[in-house]
Amino acid sequence: MSEALDRARAAHEAAAALGRTTDSQRTAAVVAAADAIQAATPAILEANARDVERGRAAGLPEPLIDRLLLTEERLRDIAASMREVAALPDPLGRVVEGRTLASGVRMERLTVPLGVVAMIYEARPNVTADAIALTLRSGNAVVLRGGTAAHDSCVAIADAAREGVAKAGLDPETIQLITSEDRAETVELMHATGLVDVLIPRGGASLIQTCVRESKVPVIETGVGNCHVYLERTADVAMARDIVINAKTQRPGVCNAAESLLVDACAADELLPDVLVALHEAGVELVGDEACRAVAQRAGVPMGEATAEDWGTEYLDLKMSVHAVDDVDEAIAHINRYGTGHSECIVTSDLAASERFLAGVNAAAVYANASTRFTDGGVFGLGCEIGISTQKLHVRGPMGIDALTSTKYVLRGDGQVR
Amino acid sequence: MSEALDRARAAHEAAAALGRTTDSQRTAAVVAAADAIQAATPAILEANARDVERGRAAGLPEPLIDRLLLTEERLRDIAASMREVAALPDPLGRVVEGRTLASGVRMERLTVPLGVVAMIYEARPNVTADAIALTLRSGNAVVLRGGTAAHDSCVAIADAAREGVAKAGLDPETIQLITSEDRAETVELMHATGLVDVLIPRGGASLIQTCVRESKVPVIETGVGNCHVYLERTADVAMARDIVINAKTQRPGVCNAAESLLVDACAADELLPDVLVALHEAGVELVGDEACRAVAQRAGVPMGEATAEDWGTEYLDLKMSVHAVDDVDEAIAHINRYGTGHSECIVTSDLAASERFLAGVNAAAVYANASTRFTDGGVFGLGCEIGISTQKLHVRGPMGIDALTSTKYVLRGDGQVR
């Protein structure tokens, strides 16, 4: 028997009772978990210090250490964000439709929890707290599998949250964290059909592709964002520059950052130079096709040669590929081929081109004249997000607590038969 | 290169243009496909005769032959049902939410097609026509993999439909049918990630479990229905009898038929005898636990011994298992353990028991005092169904054309950045 299956079974058993709790019980439990995490600050920081020390000894790059690092302030923010989730309106028991059937049977369709949500994620301790708040608020039990590098921090956070939940009178078994570092446990979790209702992986492309390939429980694909900004021939040069710089450089390590710049070949000489200079000044490494390299050279901006692989690469870094296209249709085709269905943007002043792009691009979020960086649960008004879905089933785009619900038909009759 | 991958790729390529068609183009194409199928009646019946002959020679049981058999009248019904799908309101381009973000960016979330829907199904030629109508109406390309026993019929129907679609001016490549009978093609189809957006298996438990286990593309689990009718101690005897007889015998081979009868042990002597006599008279074979066998014996009704396996079996036949429980909580626990999350029913006159059951049972449709047979796309007002989802992700219960859509965020700005 594996730990993953034991924990999935424990979550499955706890889920039924959690589904019968009231909104105020769940709200109180989320607040109690946040309080308990904040109260456990010394223990959590101590655990985190062990993780950070191990990470430094193992030569973890500094940005990853920073992602792993907790401080008193960061823990305060984590708890505050949990309390925001507690304050969201109840996602359960909402009647989304209803009617009386021809036979007189009264039918209604209600929102209900999914049941057991499993999350596999990388070394971000805050995801542990976010996932606990979001699943608890939506009446779901959770099985967490955090990155090994954050092991001690995740255990300390989950322990505190469980304590808080118990204090609020709910079953702490609704929160399960896999503590074994054996990789086989991850596979067991992906195979726990009948116990786990959905698996949400959060991390890099390789983690997500492994889950899609290996998992037998339903997976929601999240977060990989090979996002494009396309400068159509009628784009305003200043707007093009502002949007590209924002989409590429404001936070290059996140999934809604742009990775690739497309430009109409016939307008490259007017549109590109300003943008390339600004990117170069912001420290962005550029690679491009022949036409764009020629423009870059004339503008005095260094640009390497892009390989076919570059068009499909999410750099998550200060690097961008640049490609010239004939027109909006070629831009759409290029994006639909190489994009990951996350966030895509056209800069244009032509109405027809804008509408063609918005309709033709196959992605969770398609923008005309605004930065791809807006794709975010908070910005979209969901309060907080558990990930950004890049698939089309169940939910697409930022996933809030509503994405952690299903529906159920409830029918009341007085003896009707067919 | 496999045929399945070729066909998935062709569907994927055709899907983009299909997504740009108008409502009236898609409506006209569905009507044209229905007309073409009806016009091809002689060729389809000839192909069907070959399938039926092969089936008889292979010793296919008569109910399966009947499921396979097409007649002029059945083809007329199939075409009529396609025309009903054409008449449904457009599921695409509906704005399901919208707001202006704090930055002034105007956001709306629209319904869009899933893209490519794959269906693997058994030897029911009508599913070919239904699937074509439903996917076309919702702007999706389709890859069909029908049961070998219906091979020629499915080819003839799909050929006619493709002809009709072409005549209506749409690309017939949006309809793809795998003609090779090699089983490896099914596996290829299940592995066609990036080309197929969703796989919907329709058939028996083993087909569906194979898809859930093997598929790397997202699957919607459908149709397996181990449905229960639970007679709570306060049930009205006549109502109990009517509902059980209807749920079990009106159409025993379908997924919303009841397979198992639960009864409060303390009321078994009052509630069971009438029901068991009626079931026996209707030709239903009964198996039960010790307590229920004792009641059956006193009522003079034969009842075999149920094994643990019976509680989890979908007979799809005139057979029913009978089990005594202590109370509503034990009934809920039994159903949540052995049920398949399809349709479940309580017969009761006690309000608290009814509400407890409706809230506690984990299934797509939960009934108080009405037959499980009502779970159906037509009855629920969806017009027509492509299957009944027994999973919680994306859609739960009967799936109509809306279940074949996703959404997309469209955002319009004038230069906003974050």
Q: List, for residues A10-35, the tens digit of each pLDDT value.
A: 999 999 899 889 999 999 999 999 99
The 10s digit of each residue's pLDDT in B243-297 is 999 999 999 988 999 999 999 999 999 999 999 999 999 999 999 999 999 999 9
Structure tokens at A408: 């159920």
Contact A336 B397 (CB under 8 A): no
What is the widest separation between alpha-carbon atoms in chain A?
A: 82
**Of all residues in chain B, what percent carry a pLDDT higher than 90?**
87
Please tell me the predicted confidence (pLDDT) of residue A348: 98
| Average model confidence (pLDDT) across chain B | 95
| Whole-angstrom distance, CA of residue A233 vs CA of residue A350 | 9
| Whole-angstrom distance, CA of residue A101 vs CA of residue A119 | 39
Q: Where are the alpha helices (DSSP H) in A286-417?
A: 290-299, 308-311, 328-338, 351-360
The residue behind tokens 């090994």 is A148
Nearest by Cα to A146 from A93, A193, A207, A102: A207
Contact B416 A369 (CB under 8 A): yes
Predicted complex ipTM? 0.93
Q: How far is CA A255 from CA A94, A162, A389, B257, in A?
A: 32, 31, 11, 47
Nearest by Cα to A245 from B413, B100, B415: B415
Q: Which of B99, B368, B407 sits opposite A381 (nearest CB)?
A: B99
Q: Which residues pair with B410 in a beta bridge?
A: A366, B108
pLDDT tens-digit profile, chain A (418 residues): 699 999 999 999 999 899 889 999 999 999 999 999 999 999 999 999 999 999 999 999 888 898 899 999 999 999 999 999 999 999 999 999 999 999 999 999 999 999 999 999 987 899 999 999 999 999 999 999 999 999 999 999 999 999 999 999 999 999 999 999 888 999 999 999 889 999 999 888 888 889 988 998 989 988 789 999 999 999 999 999 999 999 999 999 889 999 999 999 999 999 999 999 999 999 999 999 999 999 999 999 999 999 989 999 999 999 999 999 999 999 999 999 999 999 999 999 999 999 999 999 999 999 999 999 999 998 998 877 899 999 999 999 999 999 999 999 999 999 999 9
Contact A417 B375 (CB under 8 A): no
Structure tokens at B323: 């089990």
Q: Strand ranges (DSSP E) for A214-273?
A: 227-231, 258-264
Taking a C-beta distance cutoff of 8 angstroms, is the pair A383, A400 a contact? yes
Query: Which of the listed ranges A385-389, B46-50, B122-126 does the model predict with the highest average pLDDT?
Result: B46-50
| Whole-angstrom distance, CA of residue B277 vs CA of residue B261 | 14
| Whole-angstrom distance, CA of residue B29 vs CA of residue B36 | 10
Please tell me the predicted confidence (pLDDT) of residue A204: 83
With a CB cutoff of 8 Å and minimum separation 6, the contacts of B119 are B127, B131, B142, B143, B144, B145, B199, B200, B201, B202, B386
Contacts of B374 in chain A (CB under 8 A): 101, 103, 105, 411, 416, 418
What is the distance between the terminal CA atoms of chain B, rounded to a whole angstrom?
Answer: 46
Please tell me the predicted confidence (pLDDT) of residue B204: 83
Question: Closest approach of chain B CAs to the CA of A256, in angstroms?
Answer: 11
Q: In what order do the strands lie in the sheet with B175-177?
A: B175-177, B141-145, B116-121, B198-202
Please tell me the predicted confidence (pLDDT) of residue A101: 96
Q: Is the pLDDT of residue B122 over 90?
A: no
| Whole-angstrom distance, CA of residue B1 vs CA of residue B192 | 12
The 10s digit of each residue's pLDDT in B216-227 is 898 998 878 999
Contact B370 A103 (CB under 8 A): yes
Q: How far is CA A373 from CA A51, A212, A253, in A?
A: 31, 26, 11
Residue A385: exposure state from Cβ atoms within 10 A (0-12, 13-18, ≥19): buried
Q: Is the pLDDT of residue B339 over 80?
A: yes
Interface A–B counts its CB contacts (< 8 A) at 208
For B209-214, the CB contacts below 8 A with 24+ separation are: B211/B120, B212/A193, B212/A216, B213/A193, B213/A216, B214/B187, B214/B190
Q: Where are the alpha helices (DSSP H) in B265-400?
A: 268-281, 290-299, 308-311, 328-338, 351-360
Contacts of B250 in chain A (CB under 8 A): 417-418
Residue of B nearest to A347 (CA): B415
Secondary structure class of A92 (helix, strand, coil): coil
Secondary structure class of B317 (helix, strand, coil): coil
| Whole-angstrom distance, CA of residue A391 vs CA of residue B407 | 10
Nearest by Cα to A3 from A125, A176, A157: A176
Nearest by Cα to A275 from A245, A310, A318, A295: A245
| Whole-angstrom distance, CA of residue A119 vs CA of residue A131 | 8
| Whole-angstrom distance, CA of residue B344 vs CA of residue B258 | 8
Q: Is the pLDDT of residue B373 over 80?
A: yes
Please tell me the predicted confidence (pLDDT) of residue B223: 79
Nearest by Cα to A169 from A10, A34, A28: A28
Contacts of B246 in chain A (CB under 8 A): 417-418
Contact B370 A417 (CB under 8 A): yes
Residue of B nearest to A239 (CA): B415
Contacts of B99 in chain A (CB under 8 A): 381
The 10s digit of each residue's pLDDT in B21-35 is 999 999 999 999 999
What is the helix, strand, coil percentage profile of chain B, to 5?
A: 45, 20, 30
Please tell me the predicted confidence (pLDDT) of residue A67: 87
Q: How far is CA A372 from CA A288, A350, A391, B125, in A?
A: 21, 19, 17, 46
Please tell me the predicted confidence (pLDDT) of residue A383: 74
The 10s digit of each residue's pLDDT in B56-80 is 999 998 888 988 999 999 999 999 9
With a CB cutoff of 8 Å and minimum separation 6, the contacts of A363 are A335, A339, A341, A342, A343, A344, A390, B408
Contacts of A117 in chain B (CB under 8 A): none
Please tell me the predicted confidence (pLDDT) of residue B392: 93
Please tell me the predicted confidence (pLDDT) of residue B124: 86
Nearest by Cα to B67 from B52, B84, B53: B52
DSSP letter string over A352-382?
Answer: HHHHHHHHH--SSEEEEEE-GGG-STTTTTS
CB atoms within 10 A of CB A319: 18
**Of all residues in chain B, what percent carry a pLDDT higher than 70?**
100
